[in-house]
Amino acid sequence: MMGNWTLNNGGNSVAKYSLMVNGTRRQFEAEPEMPLLWALRDVMGLIGTKYGCGISLCGACTVHMDGTPVRSCTVRVSDVGEAEITTIEGLADPRNLHTLQQAWIDLDVAQCGYCQAGQIMTAAALLADKPNPSDADIDAAMAGNYCRCGTYVRVRAAIHRAAGQMASAQGLPAATVGHWEPARTEAQS
């Protein structure tokens, strides 16, 4: 690890870290055991990554480490090393959204919205790996991301929508199509 050393801070061990987060090198002091989640939120002020369970079971804290989705609540800052971290804030420029972010808005996926940054980060890694996922691919990749409000139907549909748009932007045939049919209204019976 580059440039890390231990200080004695009033009896408490802290170390200096220099991490690549969203393309920017960030230097800070923290206890080596501090999970990346809390370093992002409390030290770096990147609050888009959320705390839900603290034991890697809800997915709200999902970030990318060298492109792979990880649960930042159980990755210690001292274990990040030179890996490049991407958080929801670094997924795309807010003025030029990632196709998935736009699909989330277009399909009005969120209810409370608290889990959605984690959902999008896992989905982004899925599409980078499998640009044309089936429902089963989506279910398998997303199984670790819990949504308390139950937006799973729309998350699936939004991933399909984004996959299709990304494929057609590259001149490829339309990707998989989701099978969520929006609500219909009936005349008064």
Partner 1 sequence: MSTLIEEVTRAVKQQGLSRRNFLKLTGVAGGGMVLAATLPSAAFGADDLPTLVGSAELNAFVQIASDGTITIYSANPEMGQGIKTALPMMIAEEMGANWDDVVVEQSPIDTARFGYQWTGGSAVVSSNYERMRKLGASAREMLIGAASEAMELPREELRAANSEVVHGSGKKLSFGDLAALAVRQPVPDESKLQLRDPSEFTIIGKSISGVDNLQIVTGDALYGMDVKVPGMVFGAYQKCPAIGGKAVSANLAVIKAMPGVLDAFIVEGNGRVDQLLSGVAIVGTSTWAVFNAKGRLEVKWDESGASKDSWTEMVANADRFLQGPGKTQVVNNGDIASGFSNSSNKIIESRYEYPFVSHLCLEPMNCTASFVKGTGGEADSVEVWAPTQGPMGIAPTLESLFGVAKDRVVTNQTRMGGSFGRRTSAEYVCEAVAMSRHVGKPVKLTWTRQDDLHHDYFRAGGFQSVRGAVDEKGRLVAWDQHAVGMEANGRPVFGSGFRQTEFPFLNLKNARGTLSLMEIDTPCGAWRAPGANTHAFVVQSFIHELAHLAGRDHLEFLLEIMGEPRWFKEGSAGALNTGRAAGTIRLAAEKAGWGKTLPEGRGLGLAFHFSHAAHVAEVAEVSVDANRKLTVHKVTAAVDVGPIMNPSGAENQVQGAIIDGLSTMLGQKITMEQGRIQQDNLDEYPVLRFPASPDVAVHFIESDFSPTGLGEPGLPPLAPAIGNAIFAASGYRVRTMPISDEGFTV
Residues 114-143 that bind partner 1 (CB under 8 A): 114-117, 120, 138-140, 142-143
Following DSSP, what letter does each residue of 25-88 receive, concatenated? EEEEEE-TTSBHHHIIIIIS--TTS--S-SSSSS-TTEEEETTEEEEGGGSBGGGTTTPEEE-G
Quick one: which segment of 64-72, 126-134, 153-161, 168-176 binds partner 1 (CB under 8 A)?
153-161
Which of 16, 42, 172, 177 touches partner 1 by CB under 8 A? 42
Q: What pairing do the DSSP bridges indicate for beta strands 84-86 and 62-65? A: antiparallel
116-129 and 99-106 helices, crossing angle to 10°:
130
66 forms part of the interface with partner 1 (CB under 8 A): no
Closest to partner 1 by CB, 131 vs 146, is 146
How many residues touch partner 1 under the rule CB under 8 A: the total is 78
7 forms part of the interface with partner 1 (CB under 8 A): no
Which of 1, 7, 128, 153 touches partner 1 by CB under 8 A? 153
- Closest separation between CB of residue 97 and partner 1, Å? 7
Cα distance between residue 64 and residue 168, in whole Å? 25
86 forms part of the interface with partner 1 (CB under 8 A): no
- Closest separation between CB of residue 171 and partner 1, Å? 26
Do residues 100 and 162 make contact, with C-beta atoms less than 8 angstroms apart?
yes
Which of 21, 41, 72, 161 touches partner 1 by CB under 8 A? 41
What is the signed CA dihedral for 71, 72, 75, 80, rounded to 10 degrees? 120
- Closest separation between CB of residue 118 and partner 1, Å? 9
Cα distance between residue 36 and residue 75, in whole Å? 6
User: Which amino acid is present at 7?
Assistant: L
Closest to partner 1 by CB, 20 vs 47, is 47
28 forms part of the interface with partner 1 (CB under 8 A): no
155 forms part of the interface with partner 1 (CB under 8 A): yes
Joined tokens for residue 85: 């971290």
177 forms part of the interface with partner 1 (CB under 8 A): no
Q: Which residues share a beta bridge with 24? A: 21
